[in-house]
Amino acid sequence: EVQLVESGGVLVKPGGSLRLSCAVSEFTFRNAWMSWVRQAPGKGLEWVGRIKTILDGGTTDYAGPVKGRFIISRDDSKNTLYLQMNSLKTEDTAVYYCTKHDPITYSYFDPWGQGTLVTVSS
Amino acid sequence: DIQLTQSPASLSASVGDRVTITCRASQGIRDYLNWYQQKPGKAPKLVIYAASTLPIGVPSTFSGSGYGTGFTLTISSLQPEDIATYYCQQGFSIPTFGQGTRVE
């Protein structure tokens, strides 16, 4: 069974930094485009950013609210996806999910991890 | 960015009812429209992709239709386990989600 397991969510002060991890098993991680999606408490889903495979250039794209502050990276030797979050703001408080793009059109997400909660508060 | 507008924001239905949720895109997205089901405290689950395709394991009571800018998700006979919030998502360009429809 495909599994994605996020970790690293904690309480952090505004202006601080944090790195989330997503450990992936049961599929060829190096061939997968991956995304982070977040959900603020009581709110809807918000796409954060994605990273393509190394074969596709390993390039990243980000949503406007996090561009310049968040960095997505991957370590294919460890089957792990990362989200480096800098200059955190209270509005970054959310559950962060990692998810895999479909391998043909890259246009939908399946499966998803269980999520990790990041709280930004003084 | 492409905006997705879902309606209604919430709806109340009974077991056995036919439920329809609409998602409208701010510009044409062909059939790059997907639907997710999310139950409280759980991760989203894909229920329709490419506007009308059912993933393996999703009940046939779920169906999707549409192309371009207008899309619908239909549950033909609502079951208790279908109580959830449903989100549309476009994959035509940088991904975006609709604001969600709560089915209760």
Q: Do A64 and B1 touch (CB under 8 A)?
A: yes
Cβ distance A47 to B36 less than 8 Å, yes or no, reads: no
- What's the pLDDT score for residue A27? 73
Q: What pLDDT is recorded for position A51?
A: 98
Give the A:B interface size as CB pairs under 8 Å: 61
In this prediction, residue A101 has a pLDDT band, given cuts at 50, 70 and 90, of very high
Minimal Cα distance from B49: which residue of A?
A: A108
The predicted-structure confidence for A64-78, as pLDDT tens digits, reads as follows 999 999 999 999 999
Q: Which residue in chain B is spatially nearest to A96 when comparing CA positions? A: B43
What are the Cα distances from residue A35, in Å, to A71, B5, B13, B85? Answer: 12, 22, 34, 21
What would the two tokens of residue B6 be? 């879902």
Among the ranges given (A2-6, B9-13, B83-87), the one the predictor scored with the smallest mean pLDDT: A2-6
Q: What is the mean pLDDT of chain B?
A: 97
Average pLDDT rounded to a whole number, residues A94-113: 96
For A9-35, write each residue's pLDDT tens digit: 999 999 999 999 999 997 789 999 999
Mutate to test the interface with A, among B37, B49, B52 (most CBs of A within 10 A): B49
- Alpha carbons B49 and A121: distance in angstroms, whole number: 37
- Percent of chain A topping pLDDT 90: 94
Contacts of A102 in chain B (CB under 8 A): 49
Q: d(Cα B71, Cα B66) in Å, to the nearest integer? A: 4
pLDDT tens-digit series, residues B12-40:
999 999 999 999 999 999 999 999 999 99
**pLDDT category of residue A90 using cuts at 50, 70 and 90:** very high
- The whole-angstrom distance between B22's CA and the closest CA on chain A is 16
